[in-house]
Amino acid sequence: MKINFTKKQFRTLIELIYLGEWTANSSREVDRVEKYEELMEYIYSYADKFGFDDLVVHDKKLNGHYPTREFEEEMENYIDENDEEVFWHQLVTRLAMRDAKNEGTLHPDQESLITRGFELENEYEEEFETHGLARLKIQKD
């Protein structure tokens, strides 16, 4: 099978490969997802043929292809934006479900617990949109 890419499509593919592999492996020190690293290496090996030496370089000593620092910095914008959204979403969701569960018998079934969780999520979203983390406190026992 053969697949053809325009230069613009290949550039987009390099970006997606970088972001996907980073998402899968950046938090792993061990047990990295090798199939993603292998595919990334394969795709990166064609970068010079598309004229993307400014994005990916071949390191003969390490026998592999690696993103340039400039390319990594460009991709960090997407990663930072995603991290920001994930942080707030996770914070709101986890606090809301914690509080809904702590209300205990007020929610006798799963449906009412979830409904209350959504209500609390809205409250937390408003709070954090207005005040950020400024009013968040850790209560010590």
In this predicted model, what pLDDT tens digit does every residue of 110-122 receive, in sequence order?
Answer: 888 889 999 999 9
Q: How many CB atoms lie within 10 A of CB 77?
A: 9
| pLDDT confidence bin for 109, thresholds 50/70/90 | confident
**pTM greater than 0.85:** no
DSSP 88-133: HHHHHHHHHHHHHHHTGGG--SHHHHHHHHHHHHHHHHHHHHHHTT
Strand partners, 58: 65
